[in-house]
Structure 1
Amino acid sequence: MGHRKYLPRYHPYRLQKKNFDGKQEHGKPPQPLSGEAIYFKLKEMFFSSGKKCGKNNNEGGNDYWKRRSEFFELPYWKNLHVRHCLDVMHIEKNVCMNIVGTLLDLPGKSKDGMNSRLDLLEMNIRPELAPMVTELDALQEDIVMTLCNLEKYFPPSFFTIMVHLVREVKLCGLVYLRWMYPFERYMKVLKSFVRNRNRPERCIAEAQVCEEAVHFCSNFLSGLDEIGLGSLNSREEKQTDRPLSAGTYDRPDMQELKQAYLHILQNTEEVHPYIEEHMNHLKIENPRRAKNEQWLQVEHNRSFGAWIRDKVMCELHEGKVVSNTIRWLAHGPNCGVMTYEGYMVNGCSYHTKSRDDHRIVQNSGIMLVATTMQVSSAKDKNPVIGDMSFYGIIEDIWEVSYNTFNTVLFKCKWVENKNGVRIDDLHFTLVDLSRIGHSSDFFIIATHGQQVFYVSDPVDPR
């Protein structure tokens, strides 16, 4: 043991006795040796003879030092701060395999065996885990002899590796810039080049030359891509808003169509000056209710569609310049709409809830962050205007036509914010999809929404 001295000075593990070697640890970690000091120390301990150490040849003084690396002959080797590189990838693999094998008691993988229990007995810690006397008697003589030289035959502990790994990170920087993952992945690519197992090197060399030639030629051929990347047109199509299913012509309820029309008007930037003018008009016409924001908003939603149509007609008669977008918006949408079960918007695939019910994927979740009027009760005359997040499910996808352009809308069922949405202690957003609200505003413009994924809470089925 003795590795607790590398922990911070007031770490609780330093004062624990039972879980370690029965003693408290108050020592300080040793100062790291310089490259030159390590070089001469190793040379004195193990490399004085300059010969390899085998099973019957121990001139070097230690059985687990077999040979001296040629790197020690480099003139600058003693000046390096880090003369080794611990491979994080294999450390992760081995540690994970040992932990899982021990927890699941996998045959041949568990580290909780007789040797481990005897190690605890030798170190005089955790006596409750010591093997029974009858089990000790059954051990063979060679195992008992091995226990007398544990320090000689056992490799450094995992804790020592972690101490050196932390020091290596501080000296060399980020681990992911020098670990083995990129090399292992590229080895898989090279292995896939092998077609003749009798000549693997030749297969790899020929395939590599072919790859480089294709890459070189692709730089001089316009309009073409390398193999595996797909065509330019296919990548551009993925970013284009388009239907993902066949459309169906439908004549919806007029009340819903008016609601969709109002939402398009309120979320079109060119219409904002008309919205401000209409609000001022309502305040002048109703001076007693000019300070009642809730009444003004309700009356604006009810009368704005007819008001903007009359307003634009007057401007046209007076000879004022009106954009085509405003003219067609003021005229109103066609009575029929095209409905779809799927639509590509901003590179994301959206589907209706009825289509998702027959598939294993989920593309009907929607979320919207909108500036809205927040009221505390029906009698609240001074509501607060602020941003709010709304969560819902897409019920239908409409393409509303204004003759010269179309607008895609999502018809959604929105969850009530007051009782249907909350944030738990772990900062997860909990949404009760059975609490439906906001029945006066089902629609959002498709490009304004964000796709979300709903997963059932194992603690609360709601």
Structure 2
Amino acid sequence: MPEGYASNLGKRADMNEGKLIGMKSHDCHVFMETLIPIAFSHLPERIWKPITEISLFFKDLCSGKLLESSLDRMKENILVTTTKLEKIFPCDFFYVMEHLPIHLVQEARLEGPVQTRWMYPFERRNRPNRNDEGDIDPLFPPISIFNQNGRESKKRRKRGFTDMEIQSAVTHILLNCPDIQSYVNLFVNTWGNEAIYTEFSKWLRNYDEYSSVQHLQLVKEVALGPQFEVLVMNKYCVNGFKFQTEEVSRNKKTNNSGVYIQGDVDGTGQTIKYYGVIQEIIEVRYSGWPNKKIVLFRCEWFDPSHRGTKVDHQHNIIEVKHTRKYRSYDPFIIAQYAKQVYYASYPLRRDKNDWWVVIKSKHVGRIEIDNVLDMAYQNDVAIVQQQVDVELETTLQHHQHILEEVYDDGILNVEEEISENEENESFDDEEWDDNENETTEEEEWENDGIETSEEE
């Protein structure tokens, strides 16, 4: 796992008794929200699904933002999930705490997101703060892509850039520089998207009409490309993450080399997400004054197509095939745009030996908020789908396909039983009174005969 994400869970495992001991509350959250679906993936689907659903419930409940629509779905899903768990585990397992999740949705609705109520911020105050991202150099140019902060590694070495690396790095920097987007649009309208990766940097070097750009000289220097000599480092801290190369992380308990970034939009209108591993951390410098430098990650990407990346939308599980790599040569990303992930393998599934589960990491000591305060109402946003498979309410399905029917007619409320008993008692009294007042036809005829004789 990345550094600062959780403690070393391997030390908490007791192999003799087969259980985890000595876990802190944060470790329990990590295990419950992220590792349970992976650890128990070898179980039958009828058992694995309810366990995964309760894991997703707590993951959504602990999100930084809670939507009203998501809370409504969570309230419906947790009832069905609890019923499924009652069919799997014995009755003695279910005490008050096992039924408590049913009420947590209402608590979140009344008190807001969980990060305003848990104790982790106060625990972090008990240790000294550290500037993980350094300070912004006041001599940096006003172009936004170079005006970034980060803490570099002290151990650095120099090496030369190859022609292929320069072409790819320069194109990536230019396409992600906001001050040059107007020229990117002009080139695309003239030459199309296909030539942008091979010809845009050359076209921009020879372009002369810079009158519309505010920072004329700086854009010219950026268009000429960086220096051929670059600085290579093994560690870089930025955006609350600590990134390391794959070689450095290989022999450590923590792994900080996983990275992902959002790419272009595909033909279906969805954004392509690239998952990979950092191979090198490179600092690129430009000529001219003021000093201009930018940190790039050279990554090895997994195949983003359906052959190399699978997404289970129902259970929110992303898998990558680590033996299948991305064929196109586009290894560089800007460090400030990178986000950290780590990859977990399946422990007991031989059919999944080539697949890793992608788990997104969180910033250390940060809570992201948008500028819109109305959306204030970890997973960043809890967007809950109708993901729980709802069975028939009157049927409990056994694993051997034995159906147990529940008849609603035979189940009465206590108050209804009392009221019905009272009605029956009152009805019996009235019936008894009526029986006393009833007379037979013979008695009525005899009475009529007596009355007529008296009149005569």
What TM-score does the superposition give when structure 1 sets the normalisation length?
0.44
Q: Specify which structure has the bigger relative contact order, considering alpha-carbon pairs within 8 angstroms and separated by 6 or more residues.
A: 2
Of structures 1 and 2, the larger Rg is shown by 1
